[in-house]
Structure 1
Amino acid sequence: MQIPPCVMRWLKPSPGCFLLRCQPLATLALILVLGVPGTRVLANPPGSLEEAEAFLEKHCARCHNDERMAGNWTLSDVSMDDVARGVNLNDWEAVLRVTQRGEMPPASRPKPGHEELAGFLDWLQGSLDSYAQANPNPGRATLRRLNRSEYSNAVRDLLKVDLDLRESLPADDSGYGFDNIADVLSVSPVLMDRYMAVAGKVSRLAVGLGSSQPYTTTYSLPKDGSILNQGVPAYDERVSSDLPLDSRGGGVFRYYAPHDGEYEISGYLNANTNNEVDRLEENRVSLRVPLSAGMHRVGISFRKNLVLDERVQVLRNTTEEVPLPTEAPVDLTLDFVVDGARVGSTQVPSYYMSPRYAQHNFPRDLLEINVAGPYTVTGPGNTPSRTAIFHCKPLFWPLDENYCAKKIIGKLAHQAYRRPLSNSDTERLMKVYRQAQAAEGYEAGIAAAIQAILVSPSFLFFYEQDPVDAAPGVVHAISDTEYAARMALFLWSSLPDEELLTLAEKGRLREPGVLRQQLVRMLVDDRALALEQNFAGQWLYLRNLEFHRADVKEFPEFDVPLRQAMKRESELFFSHILRSNASILDFIKSDYTFLNERLAQHYGIAGVQGPELRLVQLAPDSMRGGLLGQASILTVTSYANHTSVVRRGQWVLANLMAAPPPAAPPDVPALKTETASGKALNAREQLEAHSKDPACHSCHVRMDPIGLSLEKYDAIGRLREWDAGRPIDVTTAMPDGRQFEGLYGLQEVLMESRQQFAGAFTERLMTYALGRGLEATDQPQVRRIIRAAEANHYPMHEIIWGILTSEPFNDRMVPHDEKTTAALH
């Protein structure tokens, strides 16, 4: 029997046995007799060394030798006792992975029998897991900067300022598919200048010292040139739930008012010239309204209170004289809206006459909304940020200003730094406060201290401390406050709140019952939307959808409202699985999705009305369900004017199965779209010709069947039956000979490989949680997580729980190079 790692480390429990707070020798005897709850104590792995050697010699040595070097790899590079010594673990994990997936031995070689294969896999996996259990290795813990999403969320939660600061900071680089990877989050002088500028602006806004001079904030409404939706202009629909029910067109945006005062809301109406970017003063409408300091949703919309002839004439760029309409234009009601309520209205003509051409009864639309102000400032207002910051108010001004300043700054810095403060932390911030207070006053001093907090390395960087004089390579449990910071960064992309920090400082956070309760609390909190936006947005390529531009000639229906509905369907689908603790297998196959009227029409699904997306049960023959039935995925894996079998197949292999094909060589020829005689080739015919090349076949044999099964969906995710003038055939077969047909057949193939999908999903989520790429030493932890979740069909919360209780998430190894950490201190 092996002694659990937490006993070997005496005082600090490993995640594998954190249910029992391991104590010194007094507990050791009990463990040896009873075992450790929740810990799998492995005996010798199944199979034998001799059988494993015989398997490799029989099925692998013919190709992977010094002469043939198949895959640029030979068995001479490794030894069967490597695992026991912790050597070449990357190679052995790769052997395990390709053998489990059936990729090796290749289809051209005799396959091992079931018992023979199972014996080898049991031996190899058991050996790797046994080594990992006896030799804990949580992997690298690199110094990590907050990326711009995390920075924005942290500022929001610290100061209660509802501002999106991401666009004010440069975009972050990505690694391993995510932009929160420590190794690629570099720091430059330009970036620090931006942090200084953003911190200065937001600290003064939060305190109530924003600019009192009027300035204009502009919002340009999205226009993409696609007009018709079943004969109805797209801008003739209600565009936002923040606008009145009887409204159409227009737009709404979030505006932060720096002070209580008057603000001017104005908009530019479409002039119906051939250049919509023109801003003509005669088409400007405006209204002054009082606004309180803080965040508002400000908009302009048309009221749908009359019936118009909505047939749109063709726009003509001509100087010819155009007859004027015989009837006078009908006036429309234009409403100014703040926080969902009408604050004023005006009348505008239903069309505009231009000397160059005319359109009769052309519904108006907005090009731009501006808010200017503040005018006649009346005060800083009672904002959530001021309430949160000034929890201490000086009673004997100015005698106890310093007392309150110290309490305010200390509370903010405690949460911002994610740990208890030292005296030097507090004194540095108080020094900044006193300098600004002497020059500009009490609130300016608080603002200056907040700015210093927001650019402090203790806020900008996520780093953890090692025990004093600990030798490089020593593994130790991170502190509870460091664990709380990791947990908040993972689930919220933000700071731990007061409840999480309090439990951590009391040493109770990692108690199983407490941790379970906190996990559920955090996942139902709105801050967990960060997982939808940051994890799912990158895992599923949803961020790419914003930049996808479908060919307007091939797909005139693809417009901004449709693209937004596609994206929201996948986001809400992910959030539903997350919050309801559904099985992650729903990502593969489900009988529900989220639709609004526009997207339902795109899918050919009846009975859904209105612009809001809601949960919809799918009919068995809907040809939807799961991620691969969603237009967002089908669109981002297509080109602008046609589908891509290769892109779709590669996406499934890489994102759902963690088995990406190798990158294509640089000299791969383009697919031939027609024969020499000019006959158009469909996707299947193009790929058959292309993959005849042996250099291409090995990759395409894995990707193409997946992509071909999805060919009944066009490049924007609509169902179709024809391609290149011929019916689409979606029957195909996997490399191992399994035949299937279409989406439903592909879903069944993926469900048969559910354990591989669960492992792939866990790897992706664990990469995101740790902020680093996974290594061979992490794979035994991934296997432990999916084994534990398998019994209950892989519920989402169990996958997250497994990550939160894993060694890489709980422990840290003292690095061999501590120069970076020393410099930070």
Structure 2
Amino acid sequence: MPRLSSQFVLALMLCILFDAGRTQAETPSHAAFSDAIGPYVQQNCIRCHGPDLQEGDFRIDTLSTDVGGGPSVNRWREVIEKINNGEMPPEDEPNLPSAERNAEIVEWLATRIEEGKAARLAKKEPVSFHRLTRDEYANTVADLLGVRFGVADPSGLNEDAQWHGFERIGSVLSLSASHIEKYYSAAERILDEAYPTRPIESKVVRKRALDLRGGPSGQQIKELEEQGLADKVRVDMWPGHEIRGGRPGPDSAMLKNGGIFKVRIQVSGLKPVGGRAPHLTFYADKIDRLLFEQDILAPEDEPTIVEFTVDLPAGGHSFQLTNDVPGPSNLPRSGRSGQKPFFSLQDGRIPWQIKLTDEEGVPLYPFLIVDWIEWEGPLQPSDVTEKRARYMPAESGDMDQARTCLARLCEAAFRRPVETDEVDQYFQIVESEIAAGSDFRQAMKTGMLAILCSKNFLFVIEGDLEHPQANLNDFELAARLSYLLWSTMPDDELFALARDDKLHEPDILQQQFDRMLADERAEKFCHDFPRQWLQMHKLGMFPPNKDLYPDYDPHLERSMSGETFAFFQEVLQKNLSLREFIDSDWTMVNPRLAIHYGIDGIEQDQFQRVALAPDDQRGGLLTQAAVLSLTSDGTRHRPVHRGVWVLQSVFGKTPPPPPANVDAIEPNPVDSPKATIRMKLEAHKHDPNCAACHRKIDPLGLAFDNFDAIGRWREEEVVAQGVGANPPVDPSGVLPDGRKFATPHEFKQLLLADLDPFNQTFIEKLATYSLRRTMTVDDREDLAAIAKRSKDADYRVRDLVKALVLSDLFQKR
């Protein structure tokens, strides 16, 4: 596709930047400054930082008393830092305040600053712009044009900025020149795939085992073909064995234009007694994308055919097929197949090769046998073909059809009706491109490119300068609902109801909620919301040390997150209570996670609900391996981080920032008795500037000290160095309100005994995700009303989400 003129690109960029620079809602009110900290400032600060004396050129009495929203936010942060560090008030100050009082002041100031930040992020303007996240962009493009664009590929879109784990906050998702260039490039590639220059021929290509394995010479292959044995050769894949390069895939010509492809692999999988099943992974190297993975269990003489669909961008690709399980390598001489073709385990092995089975034919290792790989594509599903035909004239040169198709694309892409003058600007681009010598189809693609780069497509826009109103109109409501439950654009039924101005009617809105939640696209909500609420992006941020945690691998990490998403989906779809998130007598596991948890009898490679026995020590979100791992680092568990996570995710509170230059927890000295991390944390409590906050945070994290850095249960803490036996774990604690617990289970029961704080937190997190902005004190009345409806419905999660959708809060700008 020819690139647009530089003048047009510049105008397009400026249009997007100018219109997208606005944000959203109101500044919160808070407790009176004069009552909360005025006496403290007067007694401890004014003498040295007031009208008569300004030590360090710092004057406190002239700072804005609107701590979080006024112009003195950074100065108040300095005050927090000075008090935290013990520098202020100075030790020679008369009537020095207690450490507890200092902690109260720091917490009050930090809370006001956090509230002010939330208010700024939620500031409302006459028109609000919420940029699509890159995942929403991919989903929307797929629904619009049937192209699955790889936004996370190296050449995809920039990562989205986050606020407390949420990626959808409109005022945080800024727009830079880099974003615009990425959007421009993405739109070009999307349109080239949807409307290729030449017709695309779909074909089937099969790679035999001989094509995959390497080894035999050309003469040997010729001999095998003459003997009729070429198609009977198989690839024997040891643990860790990789088939890579271009061999697992077709030639580059088949993938030149990108598109949708179907891949089939005939394979057997042999599992040793009591061991792991072989695990097939299929990976695209250049775009750094895992295309498929599955445990394979199939006898050698009864191979199975696995089939999956992949969306690949245009260009050359190389692939890697792996038996991704630990075990003896196939690389040493004793493991290689050498020049001898492999047909069957019954043929035996070359004497110097490691045996694959025992004398009874029982596998000794997780082992794969691959017969062939088959590619089919690019595919043109009928629904995709029909979708694309709506926006490209059937007859070349028909300008009336061109205008109609552009208007149709504008309405779908902008998620609302469009005015004639809006269509005119894109139609004029097509006319000017034709006048400049472009053929009709390319001119149409240039007009479509401008639509896909428009602010109206890239942003969810709410409000109208010409007709300001407090509530969303039905098209805005349709978009808010579809991006909540499906993370994509509204479908035809939502559009039709919006055109008829019926969607806002309570009965209709409830019916649509039920319909959409029953749709398979609701899986996106079950993935995206818990991922952001629980800050799952932190999982794997610090890869566990291989020497300390040799059992940890990428498959286990993906299984950890998969449990959390499957658990959330089960609670939502079965309309279970919020209590299940705190504690449950069941969870969702696949075979890999079952091994990690020590649960037997899980063979089928999918997440399935299993009952938990009391000695499984699991249940709810708090003891899931994903949560326990994301609050750890690569070497050890981190009780303080776990406590902060519980404080934020369960109680909806953010602790004040820690003092600067706090000493890190040092490794245990080699000549000292072995000590737990809990014992070492006690040292922080002796510092009065640390003690007040740690008393609130530490018990929430220490409650889970029975779990190590990758979420395994333990009774003692393994200490690498020091003298004596490893010390026993102590998960006991006391909550700030005085309630005591001795075990993780007892801690969870205390949370269940007072579920209202968690109910309020969950609703606020859900509202933040839904409305794409932070919640402020001005939203408290609406949030409280939803919380009451949730409590009246016994905290059932599906009913809670429905209560939000039907609420005034969800339907207001």
- Superposition TM-score, scaled by structure 2 size: 0.67
- 1:152 alignment counterpart: 138
Alpha carbons of structure 1 residues 274 and 502: separation in structure 2 relative to 1, 3 Å: closer
Q: Residue 756 of structure 2 aligns with which residue?
A: 755
Q: How does 1:596-607 map to 2 (within 5 A)?
A: 596-607=590-601
- Residue 729 of structure 1 and its aligned partner are, at CA, apart by 2.1
Q: Are 2:797 and 1:776 aligned? A: no
Give the match for residue 336 of structure 2: 352
The aligned residue for residue 463 of structure 1 is 461
Structure 1 residue 261 corresponds to structure 2 residue 203: yes
TM-superposed deviation, 1:453: 2.1
Q: Any idea what SS the aligned residue of 1:769 has?
A: helix
For the residues of structure 1 that align with 2:754 and 2:640, how far apart are their CA atoms?
A: 21
Superposed displacement of residue 713, structure 1: 1.0
Deviations 1:532-582 (A, max 9, x none): 332211221223324441111111111122112111000111122222332
The answer to whether 1:661 aligns with 2:603 is: no
Cα deviation 1:589-643 (Å, max 9, x = unaligned) = 2222101222122112233223221111222442111101211101111121211
SS in 2 for 1:477: coil
4+ runs of 1 displaced by more than 6 Å? 60-63, 74-79, 106-109, 137-141, 268-281, 283-293, 305-308, 331-336, 362-367, 369-374, 392-395
Cα distance between partner residues in 2 of 1:495 and 1:285: 33
Aligned residue in 2 for 1:764 = 765
Name which of 407, 412, 427 aligns with 1:410: 407
Deviations 1:698-750 (A, max 9, x none): 11111211212111111111111111412222222112221112221111121
Identify if the C-alpha distance between structure 1 residues 748 and 297 changes in structure 2 by more than 3 Å, giving closer, same or farther: farther
Structure-to-structure mapping, 1:49-448, within 5 angstroms:
66-67=42-43, 142-167=128-153, 168-207=156-195, 209=196, 259-263=201-205, 295-298=260-263, 300=265, 302-304=267-269, 338-339=307-308, 351-352=335-336, 360-361=354-355, 381-391=380-390, 397=395, 401-434=398-431, 443-448=441-446
Cα pair 1:418 1:495 within 8 Å, conserved: yes
* Residue ranges of structure 2 left out of the alignment (5+ in a row): 1-30, 50-59, 74-97, 102-122, 215-234, 277-299, 311-320, 322-329, 340-351, 357-365, 719-725
Instruction: Measure how far apart 1:510 and its partner are.
Output: 0.9
Equivalences for residues 638-787 of structure 1 within 5 A = 638-674=632-668, 677-724=671-718, 725-787=726-788
From the superposition, tell whether residues 616 and 435 of structure 1 become closer, same or farther in structure 2 (CA, over 3 Å). farther
- Offset, 1:139: 8.3
Distance 1:609 1:284, change over 3 A: closer
Q: Is the 8 A contact 2:204 2:374 kept in 1?
A: no
TM-fit CA distance, 1:76: 14
Cα distance in 2 between the residues matched to 1:183 and 1:628: 31
Which amino acid is the alignment partner of residue 174 of structure 2? S
The change in CA–CA distance for 1:307 and 1:623 in structure 2 (over 3 A counts) is closer
List runs of 5+ in structure 1 lacking aligned partners: 1-51, 91-105, 110-136, 213-257, 312-330, 813-825
Tell me the CA shift for residue 647 of structure 1: 1.0
Distance change in 2, residues 1:552/1:301 (3 Å):
farther
Aligned residue number for residue 722 of structure 2: none
Q: What does residue 479 of structure 2 align with?
A: 485
Partner AA of 1:491 in structure 2: L
Three-state SS of the structure 2 residue aligned to 1:298 is strand
Of 700-709 and 726-735, deviating more is 726-735
Per the alignment, residue 229 of structure 1 pairs with: none
With over 3 angstroms needed to count, the CA separation of the structure-2 counterparts of 1:184 and 1:651, relative to structure 1, is: same
Q: Distance in 1 between matches of 2:566 and 2:783?
A: 26
Q: How many residues align?
A: 629
Aligned-partner Cα distance in 2 for 1:696–1:393 = 65
Kindly state the Cα deviation for residue 405 of structure 1 after the two structures are TM-superposed. 3.6
| Counterpart Cα distance in 2 of 1:637 and 1:719 | 15
- One-letter code aligned to 2:596: H
Partner residue of 1:37? none
**Correspondence for 2:534:** 540
Partners of 1:272 and 1:498 lie apart in 2 by: 48
Counterparts of 2:134 and 2:598, CA distance in 1 = 39
1:32-47 aligned at under 5 Å gives the runs: none
2:802 is aligned to 801
Contact 1:437 1:443 (C-alpha < 8 Å) held by counterparts: no
Write out per-residue CA displacement over residues 41-89 of structure 1, whole angstroms, 9 at most, x where no aligned residue: xxxxxxxxxxx99xx99xx78976732689x9x999999xx9xxx99xx
C-alpha separation between the residues in 2 aligned to 1:393 and 1:660? 52
- Measure the CA separation in 2 of the matches of 1:573 and 1:305: 30
Distance 1:677 1:62, change over 3 A: farther
Counterpart Cα distance in 2 of 1:526 and 1:675: 55
C-alpha distance in 1 between matches for 2:392 and 2:717:
72
Matched letter for residue 588 of structure 1:
I
Distance 1:149 1:384 in 2: 22
Instruction: Report the residue type matching 1:198 in the other structure.
Output: A
How has the CA–CA distance of structure 1 residues 706 and 211 changed in structure 2, closer, same or farther, with 3 Å as cutoff? farther
Q: CA deviation at 1:648?
A: 0.8
Distance 1:286 1:482, change over 3 A: closer
1:637 aligns with 2:634: no
AA partner of residue 295 (structure 1): I
Match of 1:516 in 2: 510
- Matched AA of 1:789: S
CA distance in 1, matches of 2:381, 2:191: 16
Contact 1:264 1:289 in 2 (8 A): no
Do 1:429 and 1:453's aligned partners in 2 also have CA atoms closer than 8 Å? yes
Residues 165/76 of structure 1: CA separation in 2 closer, same or farther (3 Å cut): closer
Q: Classify 1:626/1:410 alpha carbon distance in 2 versus 1 (closer, same or farther; 3 Å).
A: same
> 1:293, 1:383 within 8 Å by CA — same for their partners in 2?
no
Distance 1:440 1:139, change over 3 A: closer
Identify if the C-alpha distance between structure 1 residues 719 and 453 changes in structure 2 by more than 3 Å, giving closer, same or farther. Answer: same
Cross-structure match for 2:93 = none
CA distance in 2, matches of 1:676, 1:435: 78
* Secondary structure of 1:184's aligned partner: coil
Percent of pairs identical after alignment? 29
For 1:581 and 1:781, the matched residues in 2 are separated by 23
Q: 1:273 to 1:507 in 2, by over 3 A?
A: closer
Q: Give the TM-score normalised by the residue count of structure 1.
A: 0.66
Q: Distance in 1 between matches of 2:446 and 2:752?
A: 56
Displacement of 1:425 = 2.2
Cα pair distance change 1:296/1:582, threshold 3 Å:
farther
| Structure 1 counterpart of 2:516, one-letter code | M
Distance 1:529 1:196 in 2: 29
Contact kept? 1:673, 1:681, Cα under 8 Å? no
Q: In 2 relative to 1, CA 332–558 (structure 1 residues): closer, same or farther, beyond 3 Å?
A: farther
Q: Name the stretch that deviates more: 481-490 or 162-171.
A: 162-171
Supply the AA of the counterpart residue of 1:185.
L
Per-residue CA shift, 1:388-411, capped at 9, x if unaligned?
A: 12259978x558x44444443332
Pairwise CA RMSD: 4.8
CA deviation after TM superposition for structure 1 residue 668, in Å: 0.6
The answer to whether the 8 Å contact 1:649/1:704 transfers is yes
